[in-house]
Chain A
Amino acid sequence: MNSLFNLVKKELRELMTLESVISILVVMILFVGLGFMISDQTEQAMEPVRMGVINYDGESSTYYDTVDSTLDGMYDPATRDQYLIKLYPSSILTDDEIISLMKENGLPNLLVVDQNFSENIDGGTQGKISAYYISENSGAFGGIDSDSVQGFVTVINGAVSTKLMENELSVSPEESAFLKSPVSFSMPDNYTYINGKLYSDITPSAISGAMMTQTLMVPIIIMIVIMVVGSIVISSMGTEKENKTLETLLTLPVKRTTIVSGKILASGIMGLIYGAAYMVGMYVYMSAMTSGAGGVNLADYGLVLEPVDWIITMLMMFVSILCALGLCMILGAFVKNYKSAQTMTLPISVIAMIPMFIFMFVGWNSLPAVMQAVMFIIPFSHPMMVMQNLMFGDYVLVFGGLIYCVAFAAVTVLVTVKLYNSDILLVGFGQTRLGRILAKYKKAD
């Protein structure tokens, strides 16, 4: 135990350098900064739409007041004048003149009600409304304003339709509402069965969307952590060989199992530190992403992780990191120096990327059987899907995955110890019988 502690302490002393601390902090700051930027964007997106209106339809026309009052009704009276700008040009403007007017008044959106709007409707043809937008490169939230304007027009359409029915068919607003929507089907009429309980007011699509938003980054974090710790342990092996410290280490009175365990444990601790740092950064980032109003609160539907679930999640993450480290130690046995160690991380990165891409877009149950088998075999898949599986109570998959990962990690450690007891570590694969046969075959080729 003393030797193991001694080795872990040495490894951590080497790994926990100023450079590594800076890299952890930089990643954290990047995520947090990104979170604040997105939070700022979300807040901006939640503000009322700033929109101009030119209503060429005469004030005395049939539907002028309907359009005007409908638009007024969509804004808070206290701040309406700030966001809904009514413009009264003296003549009909061309498209270029409209754009100039929008720029002058700082309006990104403008609705134009045609001069014959009421006349056309009264005459049995459609009245026309046009929308003008000034598009800016404003990223993911850039389309929100124009979507709102489209929504406004739909509301105006409904209001005019009600007024039209009142005028033409002499029906009350209540009757016109019934005529327009004789079938009763609203959000509370949606019933979804989740984890043995029936909930109204929610659809699987909304659940899936909310869950995807909240767990979208988990596979990415797992992949990053696996790549980082993999790189740490393979580089450590490369450095041992390059600095010629490995031979000394292997002749010390310490079991090879202890040497392997020491390296894996130290790198695992570093991996958890990286993982925790990324998690904190991601928490801020995801909080910003999901801070908007109207989102689905998964906890209302029993889809929440209890403290024991978090423990299982962390355990799964740690065991999965051990699997990655075990694989990296095996690959590390074949590296010649620090430089060759860098290329050795590629296979691990590729193996981690496959489930990452899949679980970012597809859930376990949507996968065909063959892909489920492939995903189960890859140990890094399990921490990527564990949160969703725990939320949905799929404990067979969770604990099956955990047992598999523990067994996988144990096998990799045993193989690593076997390699550490063999000549490959010092003389290289090329000096073994198999290595020589392969080299001969390659030469003959």
Chain B
Amino acid sequence: MDALRVENVHKLYGNIEAVKGINFSVKEGEIFGLIGPNGAGKTTALRMISTLITITSGKITVCGYDVATQGDEVRKSISYLPEDAGAYKDLSGRTYLRFIAGFFTDSDETDKMTQRGIDIANLGDRIDSKVNTYSKGMMRRLLIARAIMTSPRFAIMDEVTSGLDVMNAHDIRELIREIAGSGVTVLLSSHNMYEVESLCDRVAMINKGEIIMQGTPAELKAKYNANNLEEVFIRGVKSVEQSV
């Protein structure tokens, strides 16, 4: 079954068409990468999928729910981690996780879910420090813990390791592998081609609002006669520029 189906989706900002009839689907348990240059429409697509902004035309279903008409059901199934996301600075890490857990469980289960988040964040004693004292790596760990502790069916992660050092980025990638292994579907957007290649089962590339290629990393490398996904990316962008 498809966890996500995006069918002929358009998004207009005034007269500007940011997304031009994209189509792709993500299977349950899959890690799917959405790549593309800056301003290609990745974040707009992710925001539409996560019910944050409206769809101009077309249809998106997440876990069988229509994002346009069943937004509440979609939000119960997903967990969205935006690029450069933050947490409430005056709260401690623990209080923040408890606050989020409060939306997903009743009081009896809130403690268990919070503890799960604390375990995933693995911040030690610092979980009780105020969020505004956290480093970027600690903040990212907390936010990923927030996104995962709720056991979502579908996780959407935008630039999940952006700005992190090698160790932190590695740990987070391992975490994503782990949750995908437990059956969570992951939609990932990243500029880090190594990350996409090593994590994703399938990849779609978006450029100027259009999906210009999709397939497994191996299929795409073969198609463009490339050694890695970075070369695929560069050749894909250039081929679009030449065709224009």
A→B interface (CB under 8 Å): 2-3, 6, 9-10, 13-14, 17, 243-245, 247-248, 250-255, 422-423, 426-427, 431-433, 435-437
Contacts and interface: CB of A to CB of B under 8 A. Distances in A.
15 contacts: A2-B106, A6-B102, A6-B103, A244-B85, A245-B86, A245-B88, A248-B146, A252-B100, A252-B103, A254-B103, A423-B53, A426-B53, A431-B14, A433-B15, A435-B14
B50 A251 contact: yes
A251 B80 contact: yes
A437 B16 CA distance: 12
A427 B52 CA distance: 10
Contacts of A431: 13-14
Contact of A253 (B13, B89, B103): B103
Interface string B1-35: 00000000000011110000000000000000000
B95 to A, nearest CB: 7
B185 interface: no
A397 B79 CA distance: 50
Contact of B52 (A14, A244, A251): A251
A387 B103 CA distance: 42
A330 B54 CA distance: 19
A10 B82 contact: no
Contact of A248 (B15, B47, B82, B106): B82
A245 B75 contact: no
B114 interface: no
Nearest to A435: B14
Interface in B118-172: 143, 146
A3 B81 CA distance: 20
B51 interface: yes
Q: Which of A17, A247, A422, A433: most chain B CB closer than 10 A?
A: A247
B91 A14 contact: yes
A10 B14 contact: no
Q: Which of A17, A252, A255, A436: most chain B CB closer than 10 A?
A: A252
Contacts of A250: 51-52
B100 A244 contact: no
Q: Interface SS of chain B: helix, strand, loop or mixed?
A: loop
Contacts of A248: 80-82, 85, 143, 146
Contacts of B104: 253
A244 B82 contact: yes
Contacts of B13: 423, 427, 431-432, 436
B178 interface: no
B89 A426 contact: no
Contact of A247 (B52, B72, B75, B95): B52
A427 B53 contact: yes
Nearest to A423: B53
A9 B95 CA distance: 11
A251 B53 CA distance: 11
B202 to A, nearest CB: 23
A108 B51 CA distance: 77
Contacts of A3: 102-103
Contact of B86 (A244, A251, A437): A244
B85 A245 contact: yes
Given A247-B85, A433-B14, A435-B14, A13 B95 contact: yes
Q: Which of B51, B102, B107: most chain A CB closer than 10 A?
A: B102
A426 B91 CA distance: 23
Contacts of B76: 253
B134 to A, nearest CB: 12
